[in-house]
Structure 1
Amino acid sequence: MSRSSAAPSGRNGLQSRDQLLDVAEQLMGEKGYAGTPVSAICKAAGVAPTSLYWHFGSKEGLLASVMERGAARWFAALPRWSELTGDHQQRAATVQRLGAAAVGEHPLFLRLFYLLALEAGADEVAGDFVRRVRERAKNYFSEGIAGLLGDLAAPEIACDAAVELARFAVAFSDGCFFASQLEPDEVDLHQMYSDLLTALLALAPAALDRARKAKTVSAQESR
């Protein structure tokens, strides 16, 4: 049978693709990528295995599509510092509020992402995706933190300090998600992200000082 003759058509094709993505995200988020067989995904989605292979080519292709869709939704929910209005304090408050909301509204994607991170060493596809999303998250935090520090230092110094602080912010955000899953009735994500903002401002002077010293050393070594 040719690929074209096996293709799901029209609305049914789109529905089967969306069903596979939704079910795969749910099951892989519960059992991990390696622990979720294609047969279980197809059974839960109510489609034949041929439909999965038509849409995605392989289980790896399905995973890539699930994670690309999840990442697109996740990052779309996060406000960009450069697109916000108001002063630094107002922008920071918006980022804090919407960032906390995004964690609470995308549990399936985040759960699957962290499970993939644990499996990354044994699976090249999962490892590559985890690295790319992680780097994108660090860049996102770096952009916002650099904007937050804009009044405290020259742009180049602020950017260097922001890269350092972004690693802390990503790790803190990891903890926020795990806490929300482990103790859902006791965790206030909005308060936790407000605390993250407080922590970043408290850590900023030391990070800026290290950035200035590193810049001075680099300049001396280049002479």
Structure 2
Amino acid sequence: MRRARGRDTGQTATARELLLDVAERLMSERGYAATPVSAVCKAADVAVTSLYWHFGSKEGLLATVMERGAQRWFAALPRWEELSGDSDERTEVILRRGADAVAEHPVFLRLFYLLALEGADDEVAAELVQRVRGHATNYFRDLIAGMLTSEYGPELARAAAEELAPFAVAFSDGCFFATQLEPTLAQPRRMYADLAAALRALAPMAIARARHQERPPTQHGGPECPTNAPY
């Protein structure tokens, strides 16, 4: 009896993972809206009732696909505080692994960008995209703050990171599309090395703006005029 229950549990887990794999692949090829539940179940060779039993709805299936994909994606990216070495060494490791992650998770990333395009018409998709996007922005914010802290201090580094993180995310978007549009020419590791150089080049401007914002407001109009001035 115990062996039978264990076998049933294993089969259930296998069916669940198969549905997730098939859904991720089909949705990344066709888009979420154009991928009906019936197509996922047919490709996975499981009953439609099995999909609803595991995920409750098509929206629940998508949410689980995205959650699993995001977990895998971010698990491949090391955290600043987890690494040893100086700022340059840590930055090199993080961006090298980031470049490798782009090459290793193309199906999830294609689905992510397709959802971003569909998001204006689908509230569920839009919310999932924003959640993953927020994680990516936070990740780059921590990276940039780590890069700049030793030179500028934690407060200015964090302020500059707030400004530069969206640029880093947009650059990363471009790296992925380059690998899809020109797979034989794109060099993710080189592109991410260029990202590090770009961030360092932009840092002084971001730091200058952060310092300017820290200054107390100044009085406009020059020295205070005496009350008996004739004008």
Pair in the same fold by TM > 0.5? yes
* Aligned-partner Cα distance in 2 for 1:149–1:48: 54
* Aligned-partner Cα distance in 2 for 1:161–1:107: 30
2:217 alignment counterpart: 220
2:227 alignment counterpart: none
2:167 alignment counterpart: 168
**Letter of the aligned partner of 1:26 in structure 2?**
R
* Aligned-partner Cα distance in 2 for 1:95–1:56: 34
* Aligned-partner Cα distance in 1 for 2:214–2:30: 47
**Letter of the aligned partner of 1:30 in structure 2?**
E
**Letter of the aligned partner of 1:209 in structure 2?**
A
What displacement does 1:160 show? 0.8
Structure 1 residue 195 corresponds to structure 2 residue 208: no
2:225 alignment counterpart: none
**Letter of the aligned partner of 1:134 in structure 2?**
R
What displacement does 1:130 show? 0.6
**Letter of the aligned partner of 1:177 in structure 2?**
F
Which protein shows a greater Rg? Answer: 2
Which shows bigger deviation, 34-43 or 145-154? 145-154
2:223 alignment counterpart: none
Per-residue CA deviation, residues 24-60 of structure 1 (Å, 9 max, x unaligned), is: 0000000000010001000000100000000000000
What displacement does 1:153 show? 1.1
2:222 alignment counterpart: none
What displacement does 1:220 show? 3.3
**Letter of the aligned partner of 1:211 in structure 2?**
A
Indicate the SS of the match to 2:85.
coil
Per-residue CA deviation, residues 100-159 of structure 1 (Å, 9 max, x unaligned), is: 001110001100000000011111110001111111110100001000001221211110
Structure 1 residue 141 corresponds to structure 2 residue 125: no
State the identity %. Answer: 62
1:159 alignment counterpart: 158
* Aligned-partner Cα distance in 1 for 2:36–2:171: 33
1:54 alignment counterpart: 53
1:64 alignment counterpart: 63
Structure 1 residue 40 corresponds to structure 2 residue 35: no
Structure 1 residue 89 corresponds to structure 2 residue 88: yes
Runs of 4+ that moved beyond 4 A: none
* Aligned-partner Cα distance in 1 for 2:144–2:81: 11
* Aligned-partner Cα distance in 2 for 1:135–1:11: 34
* Aligned-partner Cα distance in 2 for 1:66–1:90: 34
Consecutive unaligned residues in structure 1, runs of 5 or more:
1-7
Structure 1 residue 122 corresponds to structure 2 residue 154: no
